[in-house]
Chain A
Amino acid sequence: MNTPKKMIRVANAQGFWGDSLLGPKRLVEEGPVDYLTFDYLSEITMSIMQKQRMRDPESGYARDFIKMLKIIMPQCKDKGIKLIANAAGVNAPACLAATKQALSEIGLEGIRIGIVEGDDILDKLDVLTNAGEELVNMDTGAALASVKNDIISANVYIGAASIVEALQQGADIVITGRASDPSLAVAPLVYEFGWSFEDFDKIASATVLGHIIECGPQCTGGNYTDWRDVQDFAHIGFPVVEAYEDGSFVVTKHDGTGGLINVESVTSQLLYELGDPARYLSPDCIADFTSIHMAQDGPNRVKVHGVKGLPPTDSFKVSMSFSKGYKILTTLCISGPDAIEKAHIVSDMVFTRMKMLGADIPEHDRFLELFGSNVLYKGIVESPDQPHEILMRLGAKGMDADKLNVMSSEIAPVLTSGPPGITGFAAGRSRASEVVGYWPALINKDKIETTVKVEEV
């Protein structure tokens, strides 16, 4: 049995797949922490991992995590720091095997690894739909039938309960597939404080905590509007949260690190990717962001309390990806005078020549962005009449990759046969790449069974 503690420190060491590998190392070395969470997964990440697994059955998980373990685990063992990571992606067995291998390579023994499975429902889609799960697209209302044969991956956002179970079985490292981002942080609090999952205010508070730290330094001054107030971006501190038994918590970072934590920087992250603030849906609860109270609690410390929660809905969110044809994108620089006008001529040239070669791209599948002409702030700020240079991003979409690839052979010739002042083809020929569509849906919770296995190495 764990003895309830008054306060535990939870830190998020990876905000996404590809985040700085310095994050976990610095969190472990530069100050106290009890739990490290690693949030690797997003919709796009899941589909990339699935594609990797189709090419190589041994891949499809966050290899970064394995590299990281070798660096930090000796210290984590000494200090009693536990790790919770959704590193398994779409291949839990391979991730588990790689984890064991990594620990044995550095000669660490007596580490308990917990693995949570059951989020991947790709193989069960037929059974589930036959049992009445419609899996209509949450955003568009479209029926699954239109994409069913093209589905590449299907994963359920599971909650904190299975992670808690792994911790109860003594896991030092818990690896999951598609657990919801905030659930990674909810689990250690439930485990350490012995909370009930029906204490919805506390679960909601932990969910808010998890939401604040899930993108790493985006709550400690990264991507912050008043960036001139932020100290030392290079050494920006990853978030560390002091969580208390009553559900309140303080967002902070290790002393001596860069960044900025104030009410505004934490609020900025609270608003990130938010829908209806009164109903933030997670598998563990519905959190009400309009109930959150926040106050400065010293330099680089923000206290959060008063969060209200409601019971979770009876469905899990399912994230599916499906094959949706191909896209190609290629870039060229065009200098002035008349750069914009010349860019349009070049674009027309390429699509006309593609048509002459039998690769006719319909108007709605063509894509043109002229960088330097207010592509990002379209219609919002005034654009310069005559930029001295334009970066042309020319692209197309379609079901036939070969047809799209004609673009790559017809783009460079415009340098010698088009208007003057065209350059910057150093990147070479681009190739059509697969387009992955995203299909969000809901599934009844009682249709999903998760399993927890803990083993010692």
Chain B
Amino acid sequence: MEQKQVKLMDIALARSGDKGNGSNVGVIARSPEIYAFLDKELTAARVADHFSEIALGGVTRYDLPNLNAFNFLLEESLGGGGTETLITDAQGKVHGLALLHMEVNIDESLLSTIKHD
């Protein structure tokens, strides 16, 4: 099977926000087949490694197979939380897009499962 390196952006969407001194990143696969692929590929450990300089307290993953989605909780990612931090992204607004910069190797056949409107 031909493998292709893509950005997560090409196969998923994301939305993020703050949760106290942490943030959450919701990820939506662009097809059920890609959800199944990401189920194996996008582990909490891999996401924690991607955000190693941002999520200082580790990462937890929750699954929402009904929505082809995952929810990642990034601990200690906001420099003290929305009300007291000095960092620019005080509410983790950009953590979603930041995750979509990740590169993954995927079977090329899976890319054809993405429907284009």
Q: Which residues does A use to contact B, with CB under 8 Å?
A: 43-44, 47, 139, 218, 223-226, 229, 262, 264, 267-278, 289-294, 321, 324, 327, 329, 367, 369, 371, 375-381, 393, 395, 397, 435-438, 440
B42 on the A face (CB < 8 A): no
Q: CB-CB < 8 A to B93: which residues of A?
A: 223
Q: Is B101 part of the binding interface, using a Cβ–Cβ cutoff of 8 Å?
A: yes
- Please give me the residue from chain A that is nearest to B20 by CB atom: A139
B82 on the A face (CB < 8 A):
yes
**Pairs across A and B, CB under 8 Å, 9 listed:** A225-B15, A267-B67, A268-B14, A272-B24, A275-B24, A276-B62, A380-B51, A393-B86, A436-B84
Q: Does B104 contact A (CB under 8 A)?
A: no
Bound state CA distance, A274 and B60, in angstroms?
Answer: 12
Q: Which residues of B contact A289 (CB under 8 A)?
A: 64, 67
Complex interface: chain B residues within 8 A of A271 (CB): 15, 24, 26-28, 64, 67, 69, 71
Report whether A275 and B19 are in contact in the complex, using a CB–CB cutoff of 8 Å. Answer: yes
> What residues on A are CB-neighbors of B18 within 8 Å?
273
Give residues in B with beta carbon < 8 Å to A.
9, 13-21, 24, 26-28, 50-54, 62-69, 71, 73, 81-84, 86-89, 93-94, 96-98, 100-102, 117
Q: How far is the CB of A101 from chain B (nearest CB, A)?
A: 32
| Contact partners of A395 in chain B: CB under 8 A | 86
A274 near B26 (CB under 8 angstroms)? yes
Residues of A within 8 A of B86 (CB): 327, 329, 367, 369, 393, 395, 397
Residues from chain B with a CB closer than 8 A to the CB of A272 are 15-17, 24, 26
Query: B62 to chain A: which residues have CB within 8 Å?
Result: 276-278
Contacts of B50 in A (CB 8 A): 380
A375:B82 contact, CB within 8 angstroms? no
Known contacts: A225-B96, A271-B15, A380-B50. The answer to whether A277 contacts B82 by CB under 8 A is: no
Chain B: minimal CB distance from A367 (Å)? 4
Does more than half of chain B's interface fall in helix, strand or loop, or is it mixed? mixed
Residues of B within 8 A of A437 (CB): 83-84
Report which of B20, B68, B87 forms a contact with A438, defined as CB distance below 8 A: B20
User: Is A376 a contact partner of B98 (Cβ separation < 8 A)?
Assistant: yes
Min CB distance A50 to B, Å, is: 12
- On whether the beta carbons of B69 and A369 are closer than 8 Å, the reply is no
Partner of B13, one of A268, A278, A380: A268
Chain A residues, Cβ within 8 Å of B102? 380
Select one of A276, A278, A435 contacting B84, CB under 8 A. Answer: A435
- Alpha-carbon gap, A291 to B14, bound state (A): 20
> A380 contacts B15, CB within 8 Å?
no
**Closest B residue to A396 using CB positions:** B86
State in angstroms the CA–CA spacing of A436 and B62 once bound together: 31
**Residue from the list B21, B24, B28, B82 in contact with A274, Cβ < 8 A:** B24
Residues of B within 8 A of A397 (CB): 84, 86
A267, A321, A381: the one contacting B101 at CB < 8 Å is A381
Q: A181 to nearest B CB, angstroms?
A: 13
Given A270-B67, A380-B50, A397-B84, 6 extra CB contacts under 8 A? A223-B93, A371-B88, A376-B94, A376-B98, A380-B51, A436-B84
Q: With the chains together, A139 CA to B19 CA distance in Å?
A: 10
Closest residue on chain B to residue A393 by CB atoms? B88
Residues of A within 8 A of B98 (CB): 376-377, 380
CB distance from A100 to the nearest CB of B (A): 32
Is A268 within 8 A of B28, CB to CB? yes
Q: What residues of B have a CB within 8 angstroms of the CB of A438 in the complex?
A: 20, 81-84
Q: How far is the CA of A324 from the CA of B82 in the complex (A)?
A: 13
